[in-house]
Amino acid sequence: MKIAVTYDNGNIFQHFGKTENFKVYEVEDNQVVSSEVIGSNGTGHGALAGLLSEQGVDVLICGGIGGGAQAALAEAGVELCSGAEGDVDAAVEAYLNGTLTSAGATCDHHDHEEGHSCGGHCGSHEEEESSCGGSCGTCGGCGAPTPVMEGKNVGKTCRTHYRGTFNDGTQFDSSYDRGEPLEFICGVGQMIRGFDAAVAEMEVGEKVNIHLMPEEAYGMPDPNAIFTVAIAQLPGAEEVEVGQQVYLQNQYGQPFPVKVTAKDETNITFDANHEMAGKELNFEIELVEVK
């Protein structure tokens, strides 16, 4: 069996149609025996689906993907597991041990840091909230495109370059470094609120600098998003280690990343808070295009 993952510097690239690379894993007896990174040889859903088919890929793991791409993959006979994020190797491991399942149709926009938060105990527990993130750590979710704010750019497809830094000046993400603007529909909840609000009133060619408190970004850490589960309830949990990021699934079967914070012989504790929760963020934003 072959598994392909949209690939960007060790992480799952979040825009299937624009991925430049795939990491392809050869699997035997449910174990990875080899892997390689291949170029996409072009863009577009049909071309990429055809490429995967030619490579003999059986399963695709990716982040955001639209209905048209899903149809092309289905026609090519490639099984889809969407809505994933984070480390590519960890995602493949999660798929093989049965803890990564498909989110189905997901938002088709670009972002690399996913932001799911689970207020309940995921899998067999109730899920309180989950948001689908993207790259730059700015994606706040992907739901129906219903405007949640006002502004001349709200409801329009915007392309922006940005640079994100913490208060100490440390850069955590930059579209400039990737050489490709971020594309999203403004004001419909695809981005964190503070980023969305800034772009809503910008002019094409304008640059702004904004400072966001946690309430305008990823919120404060939620103690309810830290939960403990019996190891016996999670196949494969015996192999994970403290500090590792793994995937669980919520009650709807959607995968989301959690960090292992504690483990003993019988129980394992996960933290589903977004890694940016509680942080003040700074963005330099340049509006490149409005469609």
Q: Kindly name the residue from 58, 89, 172, 231 that is annotated as catalytic.
A: 172
CA angle 286, 69, 248 (to 5 degrees): 85
- Please say if 227 is a catalytic residue: yes
Residue 44 Rama label (left phi>0; alpha psi -120 to 50; beta): left
Give the up-direction half-sphere exposure of residue 40: CA atoms within 13 A in the CB hemisphere.
Answer: 21
- Please say if 172 is a catalytic residue: yes
- Count the neighbouring beta carbons within 10 Å of the beta carbon of residue 74: 12
Q: Kindly name the residue from 8, 87, 173, 222 that is annotated as catalytic.
A: 173
Q: Kindly name the residue from 162, 184, 195, 283 that is annotated as catalytic.
A: 162
Q: Is 180 exposed, middle or buried (0-12, 13-18, 19+ CB in 10 A)?
A: middle
- Please say if 218 is a catalytic residue: yes
- Please say if 192 is a catalytic residue: yes
Tell me the two tokens of residue 132. Answer: 């689908």
- Please say if 173 is a catalytic residue: yes
Q: Kindly name the residue from 25, 184, 195, 227 that is annotated as catalytic.
A: 227
- Please say if 22 is a catalytic residue: no
Q: Kindly name the residue from 12, 185, 192, 268 that is annotated as catalytic.
A: 192
Give alpha helix (H) positions in the chain: 45-54, 67-76, 88-96, 175-178, 193-200
Q: Kindly name the residue from 7, 95, 195, 218 that is annotated as catalytic.
A: 218
CB of 210 closer than 8 Å to CB of 105: no
Rounded CA gap, 48 and 68, in Å? 12
* Residues classed as catalytic: 162, 172-173, 192, 218, 227
